[in-house]
Structure formats: C-alpha cells, structure tokens
Chain A
Amino acid sequence: MSTQARIRSRELRDARAAAERRRRKRNRAIAAGGAVVIACLLIAIVVGLVNAAGSGDSPTAAAPQGKAVAPAIATPGGALAVGDAAAPVKLEVYLDYMCPFCGRFEQANSGELDRMVAEGTVRLELYPLSFLDRMSDGSQYSTRTANAVATVADRAPGKLLALNTALFARQPAEGTKGLSDGEIADLARGAGVPEDVVDAFDDRIFQPWVTKSTAAVFETGIEGTPTVKINGTVFTGDLYTAGPLTSAVAAAEDAR
C-alpha cells in the first residue's frame, strides 16, 4: 500500500469516527430532550390529578349543611308532585338531567305524560337526582338543574313540566360542563317561568334538599336512572318508545 493510500484510508476512518461521535452526541441530546419532556408530562399528570381530586371534593364540602328546605309540592320521599292528588295512577320518575337515557325517555314519553297529567289520570312524582354531578367536569350540572327545577316547583309549579322538557331538549353530553347558570335561566324564561323565580336559582335554596333526597332515594334501592314506577311497582317495559308506558298506565288505571 502506498503512503498516499494509507493516509487516505486513515482520513476516511477518522471522518467515520467523527461522524459516529457526532451522531452519538446528537442522539444523547435528543434523549435528554425526551427525558425532559417525559418529566414535564409526569408533572402535568400529577398536577392534573391533584386538581381533579380537589375539584371533585370541594363542591361536596361547599354544599350548604344544616336544614334542607323542601319545595312546597315535595313529597316526604323527595319527589316533586304534579297533577291531581286523587288521580288513580301514581307515576314516579327517577331522573338526572345529565343522564342521556333520561333524555331519551323524556323525548319518547313527555307528550303522553303531559296529556295524562292534564286529564287527571296520572299524578306524576319527579325525583330530580344529582348523582351524575361527577359527569359534568366539576360544574355540578345535575345539582344546578335539579335546584332550578325544585325552585320552579316551589314557586311556579305550573311551569315545572315545561322546564323539565326544555332541560332535556338541550341536554349536554356526558363529561361536559353542561349549560351555564345563565343558559339554564334563559331556558326557564323560555319555558314561561317568572323572572323573580328565575333570579332565585342563584340562591341555591333547594340544593341541600336535592342532596338529601338523592341520598334518600338510593336508600330505597333505586339502582339507576331513568327508573319509572307505576303505583309503586317498577315499570320494566320499553321506556324509549311512546306507547308501552301509556298502555301500562291504562292497565293500572283499569285495575283499580
């Protein structure tokens, strides 16, 4: 091998080694950057978890303690009763305004329910529950809507079913914050609730009652929403198409 060739091959080797060193250095830098990103993500996850735990706990802690004022038309069991007290059929509906299937039940049956209540066939007892508060990204949507409904039940009971329908018509998706207090107030105004009653939503007067009756309802063995009882017996038919519930109510009426 000539001297020249030897020099050339050595230069080549050196260049390769240098390239390899550069590559190593660059990879090490990328790895270090990656490690920093991983550390940041871990911190963000921990912070997110701590925040979530905090926001999950505080509403319950902040809930007003003490005596729960019940709406005027509330039953001892925690329901809002509408319709003729002497009606032959008592229909109990357990619902949560965040519950998507309660929305489907409402869509299918609200027309029939309104009619049967107006005719005096049915005494409707609504249980607005708040157990799906956990599904509204910390905004306590279930409690806020249940309080609004209870306030209307107390002071403008004639508008209760209209607000109930309006809330389900604009039902938010699970896991979202849901409607704001202002939007709930607008819905109530749209349903014909007087202004002074709408203004009282913000006072959260019936929030303790909602909390208390939700707990009381689950004590009675209700496992989920929507649950519908006809004269005290759970209705096991199809809740999501119009008709079956109406027939069952008619049958219950005939049975008396």
Chain B
Amino acid sequence: MTTPLLTRLHGIRHTDGWIFGTMLLSACLSLAASFVLSIDALRLAADPGTSLSCNINDVISCGTVATSWQAQLFGFPNAFLGLVAEPVVITIAVASLGGVRFPRWFMLAAQVVYALGLVFAYWLFSQSMFVIGALCPWCLLVTVSTTLVFATLTHVNIRDGNLFLPPRAQAAAKRFIDADLDLIAVTIWILVLILAIVLKYGPALLA
C-alpha cells in the first residue's frame, strides 16, 4: 500500500539532505535571478537610451519594472542585495549538508535576517503587481525561491529548536512540522502566488 511509501517520504522530508538540498537549490535559483537582474541594471545604467523601449520580442513587459523607483529602493539596484545575501545561504546549506552544526544564535540570526529579506521580496512583488503593473519573470523567480529558502530555514530551525521559543510554542511548532502541515501551508502559498500571476498576467503570458 501507499502508507509505507508515505512514511518513507515523510522521513526523507525531515532529513538534513532534503531540507538543506532544497535550500541550496532555491538559493542558487535566487542567486542566478539576482545576477541576471544586476547585469540588466548595470546595462541600463550604462546605456539608458536603448533599454527604454518596448521591444517586440519581449513577451512580458517593456522594462518598466527595472526603471521604476522601487527597483532601487536603497539607491542601488535591489538585485545587489540578492548577490550579497544568497551566497551566505548557499554557504550555510553546503556546510550543513557536509555535517556542520551552526550555533543556535547563528541560525536564529539567519532566520531573522532572512525574514527581513522575505518581507522585502513580497513588498517588491506587490509593487510590481499592483503599482507598476508590469511583470518581471526574474523578479518572480526571486519571490518564489526566497519563499522556499525561508520555509526550509524555518523548518530546520524548528526541528532543531534554534529559535529560542518558549517550550509550549516550541512543542506546538514541532508538532506542526511533524504533521507536515508546513509543507501543506507552503504548497498552498506558492499555488496562491501562481494563481494571482495567472489571473493578472495570463493573457499577456499566453497571447
């Protein structure tokens, strides 16, 4: 029957290999997207004239996302933040895959900083979706992969009790994870993102 299989999958999902593997993959995707966006930003800065146009072959948008003020909130292209932060995540993931155990305070700090990154990613997502009104595929990839990294980081920190939660909260969070409810929550979350994109940009993507 399927029950042994499910039990095995459940077991695999809570192993270091799975958690940090997922984290590594997501962080690499995020880094790649940040890299592309950074190069675009530099090109745009070097040669503003040519990029400020609607290319017939660009299926998605006219580059308005890259030229909006939101794209340089701190005075430099946002993607630079990804270039700085994602290698750290990759390092953590690779070291953990190799058996390194980081101190609790270290993992808590990583969780807090990454939570800020997540908030920033979703602020950008909402801006491009509701204010700028243009779609940027690489930015979407950043949104999705940031979500996945955050989810895996939270998963491992709850599993290992790194968050300095009160015992009751820690026990409840642990039960939540053990019941795989976090997996369901993240899946729903990602699907809601996809649905929002399809509803808003479906015609542009498929026309």
Chain A interfacial positions (CB closer than 8 Å to B):
23, 27, 30-31, 34-35, 37-38, 41-42, 44-45, 48-49, 51-53, 55-57, 96, 98-102, 104, 131-135, 137-138, 173-176, 218, 222-227, 236-240
Q: Are B132 and A173 in contact (CB under 8 A)?
A: yes
Give Cα distance in the complex from A35 to B185, angstroms.
10
Give Cα distance in the complex from A135 to B133, angstroms.
10
Q: Are B49 and A176 in contact (CB under 8 A)?
A: no
**Is B111 located at the chain interface by the 8 A CB criterion?**
no
Q: Are B191 and A99 in contact (CB under 8 A)?
A: no
Q: Are B49 and A239 in contact (CB under 8 A)?
A: yes
Determine chain B's interface SS by DSSP, over half rule. helix
Q: Are A175 and B180 in contact (CB under 8 A)?
A: no
Q: Are B191 and A239 in contact (CB under 8 A)?
A: no
Residues of B within 8 A of A237 (CB): 49
Q: Which of B132, B179, B200, B204 has the most CB of A within 10 A?
A: B204
Q: Look across to chain B and name the residue whose beta carbon is closest to the beta carbon of A100.
A: B64
**Is B45 located at the chain interface by the 8 A CB criterion?**
no
Nearest-Cβ distance from residue B135 to partner chain A, whole angstroms: 7
Given contacts A31-B179, A34-B185, A135-B61, contact A52 B206 (CB under 8 A): yes
Q: Look across to chain A and name the residue whose beta carbon is closest to the beta carbon of B65.
A: A174
List the count of A-B residue pairs having beta carbons below 8 Å apart: 125
1/0 per position for B169-207, CB-CB distance to A under 8 A? 000000100011100110110011011001111111111
Interface stretch (choices B52-60, B80-88, B140-148):
B52-60
Q: Are B133 and A138 in contact (CB under 8 A)?
A: no
Residues of B within 8 A of A53 (CB): 202, 206
Known contacts A134-B204, A175-B201, A240-B52; 15 further A-B pairs (Cβ under 8 A)? A31-B181, A38-B184, A38-B187, A48-B199, A49-B198, A52-B202, A52-B207, A55-B202, A99-B53, A101-B52, A132-B54, A174-B132, A174-B134, A239-B49, A239-B52
Q: Are B134 and A173 in contact (CB under 8 A)?
A: yes
- 14 residue pairs A–B, Cβ–Cβ below 8 Å: A38-B188, A41-B194, A45-B195, A49-B202, A52-B198, A52-B206, A53-B202, A100-B54, A102-B54, A132-B62, A134-B203, A174-B64, A223-B55, A224-B58
Residues of A within 8 A of B49 (CB): 236-239
Given contacts A48-B199, A173-B133, contact A23 B175 (CB under 8 A): yes
Q: Are A175 and B184 in contact (CB under 8 A)?
A: no
B134 contacts which of A41, A48, A175, A240 (Cβ < 8 Å)?
A175
Residues of B within 8 A of A38 (CB): 184, 187-188, 191
Give Cα distance in the complex from A236 to B52, angstroms.
12
A223 contacts which of B56, B185, B194, B199 (Cβ < 8 Å)?
B56
